[in-house]
Amino acid sequence: MIEQGGPSRRELLSMIGKAGGALAMYQAMTALGHAAETQFTGPPALSGARKGAKVLVLGAGLAGMLAAYELRKAGYTVQLLEYQNRPGGRNHSIRGGDSFTEVGGATQTCEFQPGNYLNPGPWRIPHHHRTLLHYCKAFGVELEPFIQLNHNAFVHSSKTFGGKPQRYKELAVDYKGHVSELLGKALNAGALDQQVTKEDKEKLIASLREWGLLDGNLSYTSGLLASSQRGYDRAPGGGVNGAPTPSKINGLSDVLDSHVWQEMGFFYNYLMQTTMFQPKGGMDMIGKGFARQISDLITYNAKVTKIAQNDKGVTATWEDLKTGKVSEAKADYCVCTIPLAVLNQLDLQVGPKMKAAIGAVPYSNLLKIGLEFKRRFWEEDYSIYGGHSFTDQQIGLISYPNFDFFKDKPAVVLGAFSGGPGGYAMAGMTPEQRIEAALAQGSVFHPAEYRKEFMNGVSWIWSRTPWILGCCASWTEASREQHYQNLVAMDGRIVLAGEHASYYGCWMEGALLSSLDAIERLHKKALAA
Amino acid sequence: MIEQGGPSRRELLSMIGKAGGALAMYQAMTALGHAAETQFTGPPALSGARKGAKVLVLGAGLAGMLAAYELRKAGYTVQLLEYQNRPGGRNHSIRGGDSFTEVGGATQTCEFQPGNYLNPGPWRIPHHHRTLLHYCKAFGVELEPFIQLNHNAFVHSSKTFGGKPQRYKELAVDYKGHVSELLGKALNAGALDQQVTKEDKEKLIASLREWGLLDGNLSYTSGLLASSQRGYDRAPGGGVNGAPTPSKINGLSDVLDSHVWQEMGFFYNYLMQTTMFQPKGGMDMIGKGFARQISDLITYNAKVTKIAQNDKGVTATWEDLKTGKVSEAKADYCVCTIPLAVLNQLDLQVGPKMKAAIGAVPYSNLLKIGLEFKRRFWEEDYSIYGGHSFTDQQIGLISYPNFDFFKDKPAVVLGAFSGGPGGYAMAGMTPEQRIEAALAQGSVFHPAEYRKEFMNGVSWIWSRTPWILGCCASWTEASREQHYQNLVAMDGRIVLAGEHASYYGCWMEGALLSSLDAIERLHKKALAA
């Protein structure tokens, strides 16, 4: 720890950074005890770019736009080609009036009321994604809290409790109660005397008694103590009839069958931990914020068909989707952020190792459905404000909106967020069938309201999205081992970037960190040339 | 469950409410599975008030203002006397320019920048406090999320880890890891075969393996698996150096000594569960919202000295603190919300049982300190956005602001929130000494920044607050048994209301539910007269 009166932690880090570069900075941050959260050490310092050197960036998702922004700032001439007619890529929001056609030909037009939206791709930002948070602030993107953990939302297991959803708080409190009771009794019986010291044993029992709400016999039982966490049959009130009535705990078997420990673990996931954020007004505010910085560099509706390179430079062939005109874009280097499933279909002049890597990474099949309802019945009738209700049905979960709380107007619920077999099954349906399935399955949580208050819905199937053909890179340990370094290594004048080229696959932070690493290596190579 | 196509749950409840009154409504709500959250069934329906009947309300806190609002709506003539020059009572916010003098004579003037505030009393609203949420909406009080659980904030125990604060996520994940390992091993060794069926045993072990992040040997060990929840020594990144470095778990003894299980339990408390809210702009927006409805009924600066009653009515003697003039206020009934510690000192004409009850309820000694800092270093340097860092020092905790995230301007941290011995010790200090203690103790969390970025501070000591002499009612089980019904029972023409007359002591919801119950009984008595 730095002594009071000395330089601040930030000043010290800045001094170290200037003196010794990123590695020294990183080591110092670790020593000071707060580097663990990120590999981001601030915007890159790319100085000394050769005047006139040009970089072609392919793809105006976050990785491509960040590369364009930082490379231009460093002095490079930058051109950015984008297939779509908008920036952001998967950083996207669907609003009323938006129309899109999926692979297979089905076209949907969103009917949401003004102000409502579905974020089909990224939708929540961890507090430790410092790169993204840095550029959101730098580019004026306002963020608001994303309610991740809601103790009052539901957990639904088709085969438990007669298929009736239970409040998360009830199951979670019961799980830790039963676990505490059993461990307390095992400790008390001496069953763990070889593993735990006498002193720790006593401390552990005392902790379980308090944490697990155990009684004098180390038992977890129904009563006011358990109700102080899991809730009451009749809540406390005021005046003469103010006394509460305790609730009844669930037995171990039912709690285990509910699989609530999966949600309990989910909320502990480093990437899912509170505090989380979302952009005010929709996720695409981020893409738009990036695009504002480099709007003069982007050519939209540009379909790249071929990427060639030689000693002199890189040449990309592209078609203007509005006019059909085919052109060539030439540059000294290329940062390619085209998603792998699409890139794999292009005429790309790179070595066999990168080619193999590009073909080796499968993409996940996530989908999302947005349902607009006339009123916020989940708040008014169920006291659920944001957060998720989980189910083992195809829809995976429903998630409640995190803005406009308490307002009297239509609101959009995320009516499905699923992958795996359920995701494939729903992807195979027509848009109408998907909405029907989402309504039928979501009704388990809100049976009286779900269909009655429904207005309209829209589904987004990543595996049917023509410009990407999947949601995001699904690396396995084995594919990482074999292909990751080959994917990210610069191949001649071409370097890849995007979430697929990171250890934060499927997260915007991965796309940004990948981009920063790619352009730093590109810059070093350009300087050495 | 109600079948689709039938009346909605809300419609059904409304029908039942009209037909059978509140009790039938409550029973129906219970049967439908969502009454557990509240005793609030909507605003009271007080019809048939005798024209000209008058109610005197004492105290313009939330209980008094709600009574005045609903009684006038029902047709009563209402007069409300308030000792202070503002509405809200403990529903209060301190802003720059505010000045106040505590018992003992010390005067503080707050120096916060515009927009910043300290909520000295209530500061967070549970999602199940439906009465308060109902009236906030009805009176146009905007709410925003209150970040309660922050996995990335600190837990500090003076005697553990060399006094160095640890991130909550690390300790909590380690605690559940060790608990899972020990229970898993005990189960595996057959130590609980008498308590758990073979089927449940297998399911429980499988759940512990996943929830506790255990390895193949049912051990909780350092590695990428544990790091996926407790965080990394080097976080995942992008490009060639993207691979993460795992963190090292803490041993059982250290985790137990940190007492993190207390915080883990705290977050499960029904009253502390997510989602929580706070009013935009400060807690006193609620008091102001109530006051807007009944501003013509309130007389401020009115010090009540005597409350008498007889067959004909109630007479309160009060002094105008601005002019010194003494007057009498006469009414048919009186709703008295004066805090018990103050009420106990008045000349109050009620029976011995209520008198004994009024004198029997001790008030807690909570205090709060607000510290204004030049910048949000907890966000910028520590990735902490809202939530609390806990300590076993006198200050109890520090809590980070839940609005203006990411903004470049001064912000106020709650620098102390404590009662008990620590609270008494700090209450005995001068305001300057309290700020110094808060800075010294809070520096354990942010050693390089806390003093460097400090601007000014203000302390609020409830036990030294002249108009209440304590924070809120501290009922014990024994005192409830002996005195609660005597306190809330109507004594002739006088009925008490406030958080002290509820089972939600210290919460605004308790004050409101108490008030509703009191005026319903008053109304019934008035109708019978």
What's the per-residue H, E or C state across A188-236?
HCCCCCCCCCHHHHHHHHHHHHHHCCCCCCCCCCCCHHHHHHHCEEECC
Q: What is the pLDDT of residues A337-380, one digit of tens each?
A: 999 999 999 999 999 999 999 999 999 999 999 999 999 999 99
Q: Report the alpha-carbon distance of residue A392 to residue A259 in Å, rounded.
A: 10
Which of A212, A241, A264 lies at the terminal end of a domain, its last residue? Answer: A264
Q: B242, A513 in Cβ contact below 8 A?
A: yes
Interior/surface letters A334-358, b for 16+ CB within 10 angstroms, e for the rest:
bbbbbbbbbbeebebbbeeebbebb
Q: Report the alpha-carbon distance of residue B346 to residue B467 in Å, rounded.
A: 13
Q: Which pLDDT score, from 0 to 100, does residue B529 have?
A: 85
Q: What is the pLDDT of residues B358-376, one digit of tens each?
A: 999 999 999 999 999 999 9
Alpha helices per DSSP H over A32-79: 62-74
Q: Report the alpha-carbon distance of residue A283 to residue A119 in Å, rounded.
A: 6
Task: Identify the CA nearest to B62 among candidates B361, B284, B235.
Answer: B284
Q: What is the pLDDT of residues A290-317, one digit of tens each?
A: 999 999 999 999 999 999 999 999 999 9
pLDDT at A321 over 60: yes
Q: Which pLDDT score, from 0 to 100, does residue A22 have?
A: 44
| Strand pairing class (B367-373; B454-461) | antiparallel
Torsion (CA) B110, B437, B150, A28 in degrees, nearest 10:
110
Q: Report the alpha-carbon distance of residue B269 to residue B65 in Å, rounded.
A: 29
Distance from CA of B427 to the nearest CA of A (A): 27
Residue B316 parent element (H or E): strand B314-320
Distance from CA of A19 to the nearest CA of B (A): 20
Tell me what percent of chain B is helix, strand and coil, each rounded to the nearest 5. Answer: 35, 20, 40
Distance from CA of B31 to the nearest CA of A (A): 11
Task: Identify the CA nearest to B94 among candidates B105, B108, B110.
Answer: B110
Per-residue pLDDT band for A8 (boundaries 50, 70, 90) equals: very low
User: Best residue in B154, B261, B452 to probe A by mutation, most A CBs within 10 Å?
Assistant: B261
Minimum-distance CB partner of B210 among A9, A261, A501 = A261
Partners of B354 in beta bridges: none
The three-point CA angle B26-B32-B38 to 5° equals 45
Q: What is the DSSP string of B225-248?
A: HHHHHH-EEE---BGGG---EEPP
Greater model confidence, A39 or A489: A489
Which residues on chain A are in Cβ contact (under 8 Å) with B199? 253
**How many C-beta atoms surround the C-beta of residue A330 within 10 A?**
13
Residue A144 maps to a domain? no
Residue B523 parent element (H or E): helix B508-528
The pLDDT > 90 percentage for chain B reads: 91
Hey, which bits of B354-480 come out as E strands? Answer: 367-373, 388-391, 397-399, 411-418, 454-461
pLDDT at B499 over 60: yes
Cis peptide before A317 (omega within 30 of 0): no
pLDDT at A12 over 50: no
In terms of CA atoms, which chain A residue is nearest residue B136?
Answer: A406
Q: Do A242 and B147 touch (CB under 8 A)?
A: no
Task: State mean pLDDT over B70-82.
Answer: 97
| Token pair listed for A288 | 């738009």
Mean confidence (pLDDT) of chain A? 93
Query: How far, CA to CA in Å, does A500 sit from each of A95, A417, B362?
Result: 27, 21, 62
Q: What is the largest CA-CA distance in chain A?
A: 88
Sheet containing A494-496: which strands, arranged edge to edge? Answer: A298-299, A77-81, A54-58, A333-336, A494-496
Q: What is the pLDDT of residues A73-87, one digit of tens each?
A: 999 999 999 999 999
Task: State mean pLDDT over A282-296.
Answer: 98
Q: What is the pLDDT of residues A488-497, one digit of tens each?
A: 999 999 999 9
Q: What is the pLDDT of residues B249-291, one digit of tens each?
A: 999 999 999 999 999 999 999 999 999 999 999 999 999 999 9
Q: What is the pLDDT of residues A142-162, one digit of tens each?
A: 999 999 999 999 999 999 999
Minimum-distance CB partner of A200 among B189, B256, B503 = B256
Cα A31 → chain centroid: 29
Per-residue pLDDT band for B156 (boundaries 50, 70, 90) equals: very high
**How many C-beta atoms surround the C-beta of residue A51 within 10 A?**
7
Claim to verify: residue B358 and residue B480 sit in the same structural domain: yes
Q: Which pLDDT score, from 0 to 100, does residue B50 have?
A: 84
Q: Report the alpha-carbon distance of residue A295 to residue A301 in Å, rounded.
A: 14
Q: Which pLDDT score, from 0 to 100, does residue B518 have?
A: 98
In terms of CA atoms, which chain A residue is nearest residue B10?
Answer: A381
Q: What is the pLDDT of residues A186-211, one digit of tens each?
A: 999 999 999 999 999 999 999 999 99
Claim to verify: residue A494 and residue A352 sit in the same structural domain: yes
Domain residues for the domain of A353 are 54-84+295-361+475-528
Residue B299 parent element (H or E): strand B298-299
Q: Do B448 and A8 touch (CB under 8 A)?
A: yes
Distance from CA of B489 to the nearest CA of A (A): 7
Q: Report the alpha-carbon distance of residue B315 to residue A170 in Å, rounded.
A: 50
Which residues on chain A are in Cβ contact (under 8 Å) with B210? 261-262, 265
Q: Which pLDDT score, from 0 to 100, does residue A37 have?
A: 79
- Assign residue A391 the CATH number of its domain: 3.90.660.10
Residue A452 maps to a domain? yes
Q: What is the pLDDT of residues B455-464, one digit of tens each?
A: 999 999 999 9
Claim to verify: residue B343 and residue B477 sit in the same structural domain: yes
Residue B350 maps to a domain? yes
Q: Do B504 and A237 touch (CB under 8 A)?
A: yes
Task: State mean pLDDT over A432-446.
Answer: 98
Task: State mean pLDDT over B296-313.
Answer: 98
Claim to verify: residue B371 and residue B485 sit in the same structural domain: no
- Assign residue B195 the CATH number of its domain: 1.20.1440.240
Q: Report the alpha-carbon distance of residue A78 to residue A110 in Å, rounded.
A: 35
pLDDT at B30 over 60: no
Claim to verify: residue A348 and residue A412 sit in the same structural domain: no
Q: B410, B402 in Cβ contact below 8 A?
A: no
Claim to verify: residue A423 and residue A447 sit in the same structural domain: yes
Q: Which pLDDT score, from 0 to 100, does residue B3 have?
A: 32
Q: Report the alpha-carbon distance of residue B388 to residue B398 in Å, rounded.
A: 6
The pLDDT > 70 percentage for chain A reads: 93
Per-residue pLDDT band for B234 (boundaries 50, 70, 90) equals: very high
Handedness of CA A193, A197, A200, A206 (dihedral sign): positive
Minimum-distance CB partner of A273 among B151, B187, B208 = B151
Which residues on chain A are in Cβ contact (under 8 Å) with B173? 268
Q: A349, A309 in Cβ contact below 8 A?
A: yes
Interior/surface letters A237-260, b for 16+ CB within 10 angstroms, e for the rest:
bbbbebebebbebbebbbbbbbbb
Residue A187 maps to a domain? yes
Per-residue pLDDT band for A51 (boundaries 50, 70, 90) equals: confident
Claim to verify: residue B171 and residue B224 sit in the same structural domain: yes
Cα B226 → chain centroid: 34
> Residues near B251 by Cβ (< 8 Å), separated by ≥ 6?
none
**How many C-beta atoms surround the C-beta of residue A101 within 10 A?**
12
Per-residue pLDDT band for A111 (boundaries 50, 70, 90) equals: very high
User: 3-state DSSP call for residue B6?
Assistant: coil
pLDDT at A96 over 80: yes
Task: State mean pLDDT over B81-96.
Answer: 98
Per-residue pLDDT band for A36 (boundaries 50, 70, 90) equals: low
| Token pair listed for B81 | 């006397």
Q: Report the alpha-carbon distance of residue A382 to residue A317 in Å, rounded.
A: 56
Claim to verify: residue A236 and residue A108 sit in the same structural domain: no
| Token pair listed for A498 | 């995007």
Task: State mean pLDDT over B80-90.
Answer: 98
Q: Report the alpha-carbon distance of residue A279 to residue A397 in Å, rounded.
A: 21
Residue A17 maps to a domain? no
Size of interface A-B (CB pairs under 8 A): 392
Residue reference for tokens 């309201």: A449
User: Best residue in A15, A127, A187 to probe B by mutation, most B CBs within 10 Å?
Assistant: A127
- Distant-in-sequence contacts of B433-436, Cβ < 8 A, 24+ apart: B434/B369, B434/B459, B435/B369, B435/B371, B435/B459
Task: State mean pLDDT over A315-328.
Answer: 98
Q: What is the pLDDT of residues A210-246, one digit of tens each?
A: 999 999 999 999 999 999 999 999 999 999 999 999 9
Q: A439, A384 in Cβ contact below 8 A?
A: no
Which of B411, B439, B464 lies at the terminal end of a domain, its last residue? Answer: B464
pLDDT at A439 over 90: yes
pLDDT at A30 over 60: no
Residue A131 maps to a domain? no
Task: Identify the CA nearest to A442 among candidates A373, A366, A375.
Answer: A373
Q: Which pLDDT score, from 0 to 100, does residue A10 have?
A: 42
Which residues on chain B are in Cβ contact (under 8 Å) with A252? 196, 200, 204
Q: Which pLDDT score, from 0 to 100, does residue B36 have?
A: 63
The count of structural domains within chain A is 3
pLDDT at A33 over 80: no
Phi-psi region of B282 (alpha: psi -120 to 50; beta: other; left: phi over 0): left
Q: A400, A388 in Cβ contact below 8 A?
A: yes
Task: Identify the CA nearest to B429 among candidates B13, B77, B106.
Answer: B106
Q: Which pLDDT score, from 0 to 100, does residue A457 have?
A: 98
Claim to verify: residue A350 and residue A482 sit in the same structural domain: yes
Claim to verify: residue B434 and residue B376 sit in the same structural domain: yes
| Token pair listed for B335 | 């709703």
Cis peptide before B299 (omega within 30 of 0): no
Minimum-distance CB partner of B502 among A40, A130, A238 = A238
Which of A464, A491, A513 lies at the terminal end of a domain, its last residue? Answer: A464
Claim to verify: residue B278 and residue B381 sit in the same structural domain: yes
Q: Report the alpha-carbon distance of residue B503 to residue A213 in Å, rounded.
A: 20
Task: Identify the CA nearest to A62 among candidates A402, A469, A510, A426.
Answer: A510
Least confident of A256-270, B35-49, B80-94: B35-49
Q: Which pLDDT score, from 0 to 100, does residue B270 have?
A: 97
Per-residue pLDDT band for A38 (boundaries 50, 70, 90) equals: confident
Q: B314, B475 in Cβ contact below 8 A?
A: no
| Token pair listed for A492 | 């001649």
In terms of CA atoms, which chain B residue is nearest residue A496?
Answer: B239
Task: Identify the CA nearest to A171 among candidates B253, B217, B131, B211.
Answer: B211
Task: State mean pLDDT over B3-32.
Answer: 42
Residue B43 maps to a domain? no
User: Best residue in B4, B40, B125, B127 to probe A by mutation, most A CBs within 10 Å?
Assistant: B127
| Token pair listed for A524 | 């070093």
Claim to verify: residue B303 and residue B178 sit in the same structural domain: no
Minimum-distance CB partner of B383 among A30, A127, A192 = A127
Partners of B461 in beta bridges: B367
Residue A159 maps to a domain? no
Which residues on chain A are in Cβ contact (under 8 Å) with B125? none
